[in-house]
Amino acid sequence: MKYSAPRGTVDILPDSCEKWEKLERILRTVASNYHVREMRTPIFEHTELFNRAVGDTSDVVTKEMYTFADRKGRLMTLRPEGTAGIARAYVENKMYALPEKLTKVFYMGPMFRYERPQNGRQRQFHQFGVEMLGVESPYVDVECMMMALTVVKALGLKNVTLHLNTLGDADSRDAYRAALQDHFRPVLGELCSDCQARFDKNPLRILDCKVDAHHPAMKSAPKTIDFLTDSAKAHFDKVCELLDMLEVDYVIDTNLVRGLDYYSHTVFEIISDDPKLGSGSTVGGGGRYNGLVEELGGPATPGVGFAFGMERLMIALEGADEEETAGIDAYVMPLGDEAKDVAMQIVAMLRANGFATDMDYASRGLKGQFKSADRFKAAYSIILGEEEVQGEFVQMKNNRTKEQTKVAFEDIVKTLEKGLGLE
C-alpha cells in the first residue's frame, strides 16, 4: 500500500525548511523591533471556544473546522485561527493583571481549516499573528497596522495598499445591524441559504458572502461608516489622522467587514498587486476586537491584532533582504496628547533607522513610564512634553550612565548611534 500526505497538506523538505527559517527570522526581527514577545498556545482547544469567539455564523465555524471527540466524548477542535487561543490564555493566566497595561504578543504556527486547497492556501497552513491587548487607543490600532506594513516591506512586496474600514462600537453595530436587516429583508428569498441563516443572527456576514457577491443588493447596502456614534467616529478619525501624519497611503474601503464575528471598530487588510502573488491579492489583515476577552470570561479588555498566512508570505519572500536586530534601544515617553503625536513620529523614525523602539500608549506619568523603561531594559529613555514639542527637542537619558541630555529632533538618530557605539 502506498501512502501520501492528506489532501491540503504538504511536506516541508530540508531545502524548503531553510527558506522557512529565513522567513521566521525576518518575522522575529520585525517583532523584536516593535518589542512584541512570542506566545505559544495549544494546537487544539475546546470547540466551544471557537464557537463563542469566532462566531457560530462564520464560515470558519460552520464549514471549515476540524472537530473531533476525545476519549471522554469532549469536543475538541484543531485551531482554525490564533486570536481565540491567545485571548483564552490571556484570561486563564490572568495576564490582565500584569504591571504593563499593554500586552503585545505574537504567535507563529500551524492552523487547520477544511477548504479547497490552492496556491498559498492549504488545509494545514501556518500563520504569523500579533495581538495587542489592554489599551483602547487609536495609537495602538496604528501601531498594529504599521507593524503589519513593516512585515510586508521587509519581504520586498511591491504595489501594496492598506485598506481600512470601521465597524464602530456596540451602539454603532446595533444601528447598522438594523439597517442591514431592513435593506436585505425584501430580497432575502433571492439570497443563498447561508445568507438567510445569517440574517437574524449576524447580518454583517451577508456582506462577506462569496455566492451573492454580485447581487445588486450587495452594491447598494448601507455602509458602516454612516452609522457611527460620535465616539466611534472620533476613534476612526484619529486613526486616519495618524496614518496621514506618518505618510501612510491607505484606502477607506466601506465594503471591508472581515470574516470573523469578534471584530469591532477598526478593520484592515493589506492588498498587493505584486506579480508574485497576483493582482488584488489579500496578504493579511486584522482589526480591533474590544469585546472578545470579556466574552471569554475575563474583564473588559480592548484588543487589536492582525495575521498573515505564512504560505503566502513564502511566495512573497523571494528576493527579500534580511535585517538582524536585537534588544530594545529606546523607550519614548510622551507627556500629553500633542507629545504623543510627535512621539509616534519619533518611534517610526527610529525604527526606520534600525533601532528597536517602543513608546507609552497608556497616557501615564513619568514614574510609570520609567518603570516600563526599566522593565524593557531600554538603553535610552526619550522624554518629551509640551515644552519639548514647542522647542523641537527631547530629553535623552542614558539608562546605564544616568546622564540626561537635551537633543534636537534632527540629532536624535545621531545621538543614539553614538551612545550605542554604532558610529
**Residue 60's closest CA among 77, 82, 44, 80?**
80
pLDDT of residue 322: 44
Across the beta sheet with 37-38, what order do the strands follow?
Answer: 37-38, 103-112, 124-133, 303-309, 281-288, 264-272, 160-166, 250-252
The size of the chain, in residues, is 423
What separation in angstroms does the CA of 319 have from each of 10, 18, 126, 212?
23, 14, 21, 39
In 85-179, which ranges are E strands?
Answer: 103-112, 124-133, 160-166
Task: Please name the residues in contact with 279: beta carbons below 8 A apart, sequence gap of 6 or more.
Answer: 273
**Residue 205's closest CA among 190, 193, 189, 216?**
193
Please tell me the distance from the alpha carbon of residue 27 to that of residue 108, in angstroms, as a whole number: 9
Please tell me the distance from the alpha carbon of residue 101 to that of residue 133, in angstroms, as a whole number: 8
Please tell me the distance from the alpha carbon of residue 322 to that of residue 289, in angstroms, as a whole number: 32
- What cell was used for 55? 462566531
Across the beta sheet with 44-46, what order do the strands follow?
Answer: 44-46, 75-78, 66-69
Q: Give me the helices (H) in 248-365, please.
A: 292-295, 310-317, 337-352
Q: Beta strands 380-384 and 75-78: pairing type?
A: unpaired
268, 165 in Cβ contact below 8 A?
yes
- What cell was used for 384? 518629551
Task: Please name the residues in contact with 183: beta carbons below 8 A apart, sequence gap of 6 or more.
Answer: 217, 220, 221, 222
Q: pLDDT tens, 264-288? A: 899 999 998 877 777 678 899 999 9
In angstroms, how far is CA 259 from the centroid of its own chain? 14
Backbone angles phi, psi at 195, to 5 degrees: -65, -40
Kindly report the number of other CB atoms within 10 A of residue 41's CB atom: 19
- Segments of the chain scoring below 70 in pLDDT: 1, 56-57, 120, 258-261, 279, 318-327
**Residue 263's closest CA among 77, 83, 59?**
83
Please tell me the distance from the alpha carbon of residue 119 to that of residue 315, in angstroms, as a whole number: 9
- What cell was used for 233? 467616529
Kindly report the number of other CB atoms within 10 A of residue 325's CB atom: 15
**Cell 534588544 belongs to which residue?**
327
Q: Beta strands 330-334 and 380-384: pairing type?
A: parallel
* Cα torsion through 309, 310, 315, 321, rounded to 10: 130
- What cell was used for 8? 491540503
